[in-house]
Structure 1
Amino acid sequence: MEADHRAQVEELLAGYRRSRDQLGAVQRKLAAIQESAASEDGLVTVTVGATGQLVGLVIVDNAYRQLRPHELARTVVALTAAAAAKVGRAAGQALAPVLPPDTDPEALLRGTADLTPAELKPEPPDAEETFEDLSWMRAGGKQR
């Protein structure tokens, strides 16, 4: 009887170790993801890391002659968003093997999981709630 329990415990521990190793491999794969996006004219290239942060920016020397500052800024922002979307897809592919088959890994990473668009819509403010009699400046918890 004790041998059966010991075997069950060993089996559970082995399963835990396999799961932990698999999770570690997925975490390493996720952390290593980087994606780039370049403008059609080749003047700007951005690289985004695993969590969507900008980790690389290349602006060719003559970009300043061809683009106005607001155009250059808009290009960097748009390319960063495009590269971040690519990171999201790559992260979803890395995560998919450890998720249940009916789980959308990209939605899970966005934090929306299985929520419907209606569930994600912000609730309208309470029509009865007003702030007209409130002071945002308080001294010792009392209104001034």
Structure 2
Amino acid sequence: MTTDHRAQVDELLADYRRSRDQLASVHRDLARISASATSPDGSVTAVVGPQGGLTDLELTPDAYRMRPEQLAQVIVRVTQEAAAKAAERAYKTLTPVLPAGTDPAALVKGTADLRPEEIAPPAPTRARPVDDEDFEQRDWLNVEATPRRSR
């Protein structure tokens, strides 16, 4: 009986080591993800890392001919495009190791096990209208602190 338990423990340990090795491999693959995007005119190229953070930005001399606001918009747009590519690569890296039916995008966003109503932002609260006759704002015990109306 003891050898049966020992065999089960050895099998569990082997499974655990395989899982850890696979996890380490996926982690290394995720850490190596990089993506880039270039503006249609070729003046701006953004490179992002695995989590979409900007790691490199290349501007050609033509980029400096744009107005600052326009250049900023191009940089943001190109960086977002590169980040979307990096995210897609991360999803493809994660998919083979996730349980069937798990959405890798939702997992990365941290919403994989949440229902839509749990993710939705809270409904905005309505501010109470200011009312000149709002007696809650008056301090009846301290006459000096009570706001006086000008006549």
SS of the aligned residue for 2:14 comes to helix
Q: Considering only CA atoms, is the larger Rg found in Structure 1 or Structure 2? A: 2
SS of the aligned residue for 1:29 comes to helix
**Correspondence for 2:24:** 24
**Correspondence for 1:85:** 84
The code of the aligned residue for 1:97 comes to P
Q: CA deviation at 1:56?
A: 0.7
The percentage of counterpart residues that share the same residue type is: 54
TM-score, length basis structure 2: 0.79
Q: State how many pairs are aligned.
A: 131
Residue correspondence of structure 1 range 1-144 to structure 2 within 5 A: 1-65=1-65, 67-125=66-124
SS of the aligned residue for 2:101 comes to coil
The code of the aligned residue for 1:109 comes to V
Structure 2, unpaired ranges of 5+? 129-135, 138-151
SS of the aligned residue for 2:40 comes to coil
Cα deviations by residue, 1:39-89 (Å, 9 ceiling, x for unpaired)? 000000000100111001000023212x11111110011111111111111
Question: Considering only aligned residues, what root-mean-square deviation do their CA atoms show, in Å?
Answer: 2.1
Q: CA deviation at 1:125?
A: 4.7
TM-score, length basis structure 1: 0.83
